[in-house]
Amino acid sequence: GTLHVAVVGAGIAGLSCAGFLAQAGLSPVVFDKSRGPGGRMSTRRGEGWQCDHGAQYFTARDPDFRAEVERWLQAGVAARWAPRLRVLGGDLGHDADSGLARFVGTPRMTAPARLLAERLELQAGTTIHQLERGAEGWRLLSAERGWVDGFYDAVVLAQPAPQAASLLRQSSLHNAAASGLVTLAEGVVMRGSWALMVRFADPVALPFDAAFVNAGPLRWIARDSSKPGRDGVESWLLHANAQWSEAHIEDDADDVAAAMLQAFHDLGGPLPQAWTAHRWRYADSEPAGDMVCAWDGDTGVGLCGDWLNGGKVEGAWLSGRALAQRIVDGLRVVG
């Protein structure tokens, strides 16, 4: 019969992997602890406002990923974003690279993931915290529903490295290759990031839509309302840099917001009408080499995600696809 694959994580990597597995004739089921797909390609919505508080935009350098983005553009779930872009606080670190094509999901960052999830079986609100291997295959234990239905021939972990590592440690893996996966995931240091979503009654009178910031607590500020297809009140996103975020990751949201708003004010920003803070515990990772993905054919466990391939949306999508290819090739060898 067809091979059943459980994919843990409905971020862009897991969805890409599951989509290619389905295309090759396998039966993937995707699980995510959140209410919907997208992972760190995420948008917060409130009354009269919306704001992307994870990935800000994505680029497409690989020809296959460009073709995928073209498909998203055609489907209306993504568009090019050409912000008036600045580099503030010194010229170290970043340049604005105005020739680079930047894309965003439309009408919000989660839209491409929703498109990919449409053709897949997704079980949302399901936190997988243990894997168990029996004679009939893998079973998955969830926090919300106990053991989920079905046995799986393979399991794909498409989570940030620390979450993949802790799931692997909770699972019955008894060979050296599998413990190699644990070591790999444990070896990756992921860093936190504070995000502050701020709303204004009127358009903010700054002469740019986004800026890389090279001084103080902030790293990036962007007028979310300048992205195509957005509605609601004037909305900006402030990201703190990794070093500052890590130093303040356990702080009170009120204190963090006060410091970030002061830094925004120092750059010429007005005081907002309202704000919402979000703490990302695993925003990005130190580069983890160029493995792209990892697969242990003996146990049927694989890893994919941005942390294995450059830390961005494009790398995550390519990582998921590469793992799907490894799984399908592995079956050919066995079959």
Which residues contribute to the site for ligand FAD (CB under 6 A)?
A: 8-14, 31-34, 39-41, 54-58, 127-129, 158-160, 163, 167, 193, 195, 239, 280, 283-284, 305-306, 311-313, 316
CB of 201 to ligand FAD, least distance (A): 26
CB of 1 to ligand FAD, least distance (A): 26
Determine the angle formed by the axes of helices 111-118 and 63-75, rounding to 10 degrees.
90
Burial 61-83 (b: 16+ CB within 10 A, else e): eeeebeebbeebeeeebbbebeb
Identity of the residue, 10 or 204, whose beta carbon is nearer to ligand FAD in the bound complex: 10
Identity of the residue, 3 or 117, whose beta carbon is nearer to ligand FAD in the bound complex: 117
Instruction: Give the 3-state secondary structure percentages of the chain, helix then strand then coil, rounded to 5.
Output: 30, 30, 40
Identity of the residue, 158 or 198, whose beta carbon is nearer to ligand FAD in the bound complex: 158
Identity of the residue, 158 or 221, whose beta carbon is nearer to ligand FAD in the bound complex: 158
CB of 202 to ligand FAD, least distance (A): 26
Identity of the residue, 130 or 270, whose beta carbon is nearer to ligand FAD in the bound complex: 130
Is the separation of the CB atoms in 303 and 54 below 8 Å?
Answer: no
CB of 186 to ligand FAD, least distance (A): 15
d(CA 86, CA 94): 10
CB of 57 to ligand FAD, least distance (A): 5
Identity of the residue, 269 or 320, whose beta carbon is nearer to ligand FAD in the bound complex: 320
Class of residue 327 by CB neighbours under 10 A (exposed 0-12, middle 13-18, buried 19+):
buried
CB of 135 to ligand FAD, least distance (A): 24
d(CA 66, CA 60): 5
CB of 58 to ligand FAD, least distance (A): 4
Helices (H) and strands (E) in the chain, counts: 8, 19
Taking CA atoms, 269 is separated from 71, 145, 230, 261, in Å, by 37, 46, 21, 8
Identity of the residue, 48 or 172, whose beta carbon is nearer to ligand FAD in the bound complex: 172
